[in-house]
Structure 1
Amino acid sequence: MRVLFLVQGEGRGHLTQALSLAQILQTAGHDVIGALVGITDERGVPAFFSEKFTAPITPIFSPGLVYNAGTNELEPFKTTVQAIRYAKPFWRSLKQVRDVIGQQRPDVVVNFYEMLGGLTYALLRPTVPMVCIAHQYFAFHPNFQRPKKQWFYRQAFKINTRLTCFGAEELLALSFDKQADEPSQRLRVVPPLLRQEITDLKPVDGDFLLAYVTQPGLKTELLKAHQQHPTLQMDAFHSGVNVPDQVIDDTLTYHAIDGKRFLDFMSRCKAIVTTAGFESVCEAAYLGKPALMIPQPNHFEQACNAIDGQRAGVGVAADRFDLEQLLAYLPHHDLQVSDRFRSWYAQGYFLFLAALNRAAMAKSKPSGGFFWTRMRHILR
């Protein structure tokens, strides 16, 4: 089976999922023939992906999300304005995706939440079957957890997610735990896709808390929490540090962002404080590390992840750096959650191969009115 990837280049999650699936396919004897990766003028293909992905990579323009430079808050209005501004180059990108699919002639296209994929299939209608993979598709499941009083962000998230998957044979929703499939939504629930660096680690019980700080406001909250618990050992990775280790005092040390070192610290910590990105929370769950999940402001998807992660027992959701909440939770954390998570993860190899084989056997026949029919359904 010849498989072509289409990957959203925003952040690390979808890219690491693509690396993980490529390894599964290659182990099973299939051929990953390339990847189209969405980029912007400010963001190219990350080195960690280009260095590890063994097939040809084609960067392709795709408008990204807009965050506030000072607060790191997601700005939906500016994101929409930017997308409209880049309408012409975006249309050229759709035609480029169609042309690459036509030239490469894969048996199946796998789309990791890239909007170019859904809109190409809606408007230009390639005949190669497409399968879409992302945690975001769990939003179409009746058990999906969502915060209250965020109607605007919920609608924007729902529309954006639909735009990525028009014409797909199946939607594979990555989930913290096993859930029933939803055939009416073309939805199958599957385990997370984790990078091999995580599954190779041998976790041990530690006595320190680990924090991953990306928002300027969280650094202030971290210092306040440290002053309230001065005897509690904490290590924090954040982008404001320019040296490998910056010792603040006997129990607090800052570290420069370093993916490999962070994984080593995570395998040895007692618990982790992080944003509510699906990938990072799953990595902590695999290693048996309870998480305090703090969604980025205005980031509806992360708010949902935090609630869903709490439902699944991998940690506790919070709206700020609240060590009191985490410390109160830790004695009640179910130590069997990690075992169940690992068991669920182990089923992924067969579930992903079965889904792609089903798609490769199918013939994609999107109708001319498919796009607008789905849009009417979304906006009801």
Structure 2
Amino acid sequence: MAKIFMSMSGEGRGHATRVRSLVERMRDRHEITLFAPGDAYRFLEPQYGNDPGVRLFEIPGLKFHYVEGNIRLTKTIYQGFHYQMTDLPKLVKQLVDEIQTHQPDVILTDFEPALPRAAKKCGKPYLSMTHQHFLVAYDLSILPMHLRFFAWFIGLAVPMHYTSQKETIISSFFKANLKPRWKKKGAICVGPMIRPEIRQDEFHYVSPETESEDSNHPPFLLSYLRKQAKTDVVDILKESPIPVKVYGLGEREPVGSITFHEIHPQNFVDDLLACHGVVSASGNQLLGECMYLGKPVLGIPETWHHEQLINAHFLKAMGCGDFVTLEKFHIKHLRNFLEQIEEYRTKIRETCQGNDGTDDTIAILERNIPVEIPSNVDVVGQVH
């Protein structure tokens, strides 16, 4: 049994969901400690806060900053430098103490800067598993010029997090060629990390005609919106020709076609499994799970959330959905999406349904366990 330390970004729930997919597959044979800031901690605390098998610690972290529902890059960058000068040094010292006390065998980070710095101070190697490294490692030549510029610009933040990882694992719902430099460095591309509830409860799609015959299971759309989303989105979604279940804005009274639901991991998964399609922000984790399940997506990324905007461009290029920026979203875009939804569904089935990078990632982690660690179970991907 090995000791594994994992840290993750706290912006949104995608990083925490990705890490949790690994934890649930490895906790039976390894001791796992998680370091999570912000949204990631709030997502993981109900599951691991009182779990004797997984240690969970809340840490300070980086996040996007909003003004009147819009991302403010200047404030985000300023607060990032403030974090680097104030919170980060103290956090690194605390994590150095944790590493020296518990002597982890494997250290993994999902785009969190403190644990890699602590590992380096302790002379220990660490691994990186992110989506964000696609910004610097992938050939993005299919993107429009302005998005290639922004990929370069926001990609400047990637090496500011860390640069000396032993392995670079890039988890993404889309495929692209690695740049020669990253191919030479041995970067590894894997599919999205699929959470265990989805793997266990794979859903076989029922056509809308069949759905409508069963009054207990009418077709509906699932929408996940960031809490900072503009209220205009709700005004548009309430005109949907089929019901919409909205997560991310908290529980409220129904409005038009919309019902509002508190974030609950199992309830959200149940609705994701059963929905007709998804209208959502364009985070890599959710898009990956939608592709795994064969769910077409209408992405509504924020104009200044360039990473999600790039994800949405790849979604459209794959033919598995469409997108429009949140600020330009109109009911006509939703109607067009519904008219073409079966074409998108067919394309997903033909190209990427069932794609899951969890096993590949676990194999990489476990091959980095020192050989002297005794184990009475097989290690995923280990040759005996």
TM-score normalised by L of structure 1: 0.79
- Letter of the structure 1 residue corresponding to residue 346 of structure 2: L
Shift of 1:334: 4.6
Query: Take 2:41 and 2:362, find their aligned partners in 1: how far apart are those partners?
Result: 26
- Structure 1 residues 255 and 135: alpha-carbon distance in aligned structure 2, compared to 1, 3 A threshold: same
SS of structure 1 residue aligned to 2:122: coil
1:102 aligns with 2:100: yes
SS of structure 1 residue aligned to 2:37: strand
Deviations 1:4-24 (A, max 9, x none): 111222221111111111122
- Structure 1 residues 274 and 147: alpha-carbon distance in aligned structure 2, compared to 1, 3 A threshold: farther
Look up the match of 1:301. 307
Shift of 1:44: 8.2
Q: Is the 8 A contact 1:129 1:359 kept in 2?
A: no
Q: Is the 8 A contact 1:140 1:185 kept in 2?
A: no
1:167 aligns with 2:164: yes
Look up the match of 2:111. 113
Residue of 310, 333, 341 corresponding to 1:330: 341
Look up the match of 1:274. 280
Look up the match of 1:353. 362
Structure-to-structure mapping, 1:131-280, within 5 angstroms: 131-144=127-140, 146-149=143-146, 153-177=150-174, 182-203=182-203, 204-205=205-206, 206=208, 207-214=219-226, 219-224=231-236, 227=239, 232-238=241-247, 242-243=251-252, 246-249=253-256, 252-259=257-264, 260-280=266-286
The size of the alignment, in residue pairs, is: 344
- Letter of the structure 2 residue corresponding to residue 89 of structure 1: D
Residue of 81, 84, 87 corresponding to 1:89: 87
Shift of 1:178: 5.3
Shift of 1:315: 1.6
1:310 aligns with 2:297: no
Which deviates more, 313-322 or 210-219?
Answer: 210-219
Aligned-pair Cα RMSD in Å: 2.9
- Structure 1 residues 177 and 81: alpha-carbon distance in aligned structure 2, compared to 1, 3 A threshold: closer
Query: Take 1:325 and 1:185, find their aligned partners in 2: how far apart are those partners?
Result: 43
Look up the match of 1:368. none
SS of structure 2 residue aligned to 1:255: strand
Query: Take 2:100 and 2:144, find their aligned partners in 1: how far apart are those partners?
Result: 42
Query: Take 1:284 and 1:201, find their aligned partners in 2: how far apart are those partners?
Result: 14
Shift of 1:187: 1.2
1:37 aligns with 2:46: no
- Structure 1 residues 176 and 83: alpha-carbon distance in aligned structure 2, compared to 1, 3 A threshold: closer
- Letter of the structure 1 residue corresponding to residue 341 of structure 2: L
Deviations 1:154-174 (A, max 9, x none): 344212222233210111101
Look up the match of 1:367. none
- Structure 1 residues 273 and 248: alpha-carbon distance in aligned structure 2, compared to 1, 3 A threshold: same
Query: Take 1:56 and 1:225, find their aligned partners in 2: how far apart are those partners?
Result: 40
Query: Take 2:361 and 2:34, find their aligned partners in 1: how far apart are those partners?
Result: 18
Q: Is the 8 A contact 1:174 1:189 kept in 2?
A: yes
Shift of 1:131: 0.8
Shift of 1:279: 1.4
Deviations 1:115-168 (A, max 9, x none): 2234445xx533222111111112233334655325774344212222233210
Structure-to-structure mapping, 1:59-70, within 5 angstroms: 59-68=58-67, 70=68
Residue of 108, 122, 129 corresponding to 2:125: 129
Shift of 1:219: 4.1
- Letter of the structure 2 residue corresponding to residue 132 of structure 1: S
Shift of 1:192: 1.1
Shift of 1:343: 4.1
Which deviates more, 336-345 or 5-14?
Answer: 336-345
Which deviates more, 181-190 or 99-108?
Answer: 181-190
- Structure 1 residues 179 and 274: alpha-carbon distance in aligned structure 2, compared to 1, 3 A threshold: same
Query: Take 1:83 and 1:216, find their aligned partners in 2: how far apart are those partners?
Result: 19
Shift of 1:305: 1.1
Q: Is the 8 A contact 2:113 2:162 kept in 1?
A: yes
SS of structure 1 residue aligned to 2:165: coil
- Letter of the structure 2 residue corresponding to residue 46 of structure 1: R
- Structure 1 residues 261 and 337: alpha-carbon distance in aligned structure 2, compared to 1, 3 A threshold: same
Query: Take 1:268 and 1:44, find their aligned partners in 2: how far apart are those partners?
Result: 25
Q: Is the 8 A contact 2:23 2:32 kept in 1?
A: no
Query: Take 2:116 and 2:152, find their aligned partners in 1: how far apart are those partners?
Result: 18
Q: Is the 8 A contact 1:180 1:189 kept in 2?
A: no
Q: Which runs of 4+ in 1 moved over 6 A?
A: none
Shift of 1:236: 3.5
- Letter of the structure 2 residue corresponding to residue 173 of structure 1: I
SS of structure 1 residue aligned to 2:127: strand
Query: Take 1:361 and 1:183, find their aligned partners in 2: how far apart are those partners?
Result: 25
Deviations 1:281-302 (A, max 9, x none): 1222222110001112311111
SS of structure 1 residue aligned to 2:66: coil
Q: Is the 8 A contact 1:129 1:360 kept in 2?
A: no
Q: Is the 8 A contact 2:224 2:248 kept in 1?
A: no
Look up the match of 1:366. none
Shift of 1:241: 5.5
Identity %: 20
Q: Is the 8 A contact 1:4 1:110 kept in 2?
A: yes
SS of structure 2 residue aligned to 1:297: coil
Q: Gaps (5+ residues) in structure 2? A: 209-218, 372-384
Shift of 1:214: 3.1
Look up the match of 2:10. 9
